[in-house]
Structure 1
Amino acid sequence: MALIANFVRQDKERFSVHDPIDAQVSSFQAPHGRIVQIDTFGRGTRENPGKISQTIQLDKTSGEELFRILQAEFDLI
C-alpha cells in the first residue's frame, strides 16, 4: 500500500498494454485530510483471483496533480 506523495515524469522506450482488471475506489477521512484509495485485483487466472493485488492512495495534493496529468494526456477540459 502506498500514499502517493508526487508524480515524477519518466519517458520510457518500451511500453506494453496490460490485461484489463477490476478496481475498487473508496474514500475516507484521515487526520490530515480526505484520502481516495484505489484497490486493484489480479486477473481471473491468478491463484487467488479475488485478492487485492495493489493499493494506492491519493490525498488532495496528489489527486490534483493526477487530475492535471490526466487533463493534459487525454486533452480533457
Structure 2
Amino acid sequence: MAIIRSFEELELKAHARHTETKGGFSIQGQDGEKFVQINTFGSDDRMMPGKVSQTLRLSKEAIEQLAELARKHL
C-alpha cells in the first residue's frame, strides 16, 4: 500500500493500452489523519479476478491537487 501526498507530472514514452476493471474507495484513518483509499480489482482475464490488485491512500493535499488537475485538464 502507498500513501500519496502529492503528484508530479511524468513524461511517459510508451502509451500502453489498459484493460477495464472495477474500482472502489473508502475513507481510512491513520495516525489521526484521514485518507481516501482507492482499490482496484483484478480484471476478468486475471488469474484471480476480483482480487484487490492495487491500493493507494491519498492525503487531503493529494486529493486537492488531483481535483485541480482534473479541472484544468479534463
Instruction: Provide TM-score, normalisation by structure 1.
Output: 0.84
Q: Deviations over 1:40-77 (max 9, x none)?
A: 01111111112100001111111111111111111xxx
Gaps (5+ residues) in structure 2? none
Q: Identity across aligned pairs (percent)?
A: 31
Runs (4 or more) in structure 1 with deviation over 2 Å come to 11-14, 28-33
The amino acid of 1:43's aligned partner reads S
Q: For residues 30 and 52 of structure 1, what CA distance do their matches in structure 2 show?
A: 20
Distance 1:13 1:46 in 2: 26
Separation (CA, whole Å) in 1 of partners of 2:13 and 2:48? 32
Task: Count matched residues.
Answer: 74
Any residues of structure 2 matched to 1:41-56 within 5 Å, and which? 41-56=41-56
Q: How does 1:28-43 map to 2 (within 5 A)?
A: 28-43=28-43
CA apart distance, 1:10 = 1.4
- Give the alignment's TM-score, normalised by structure 2: 0.87
Shift of 1:28: 2.4
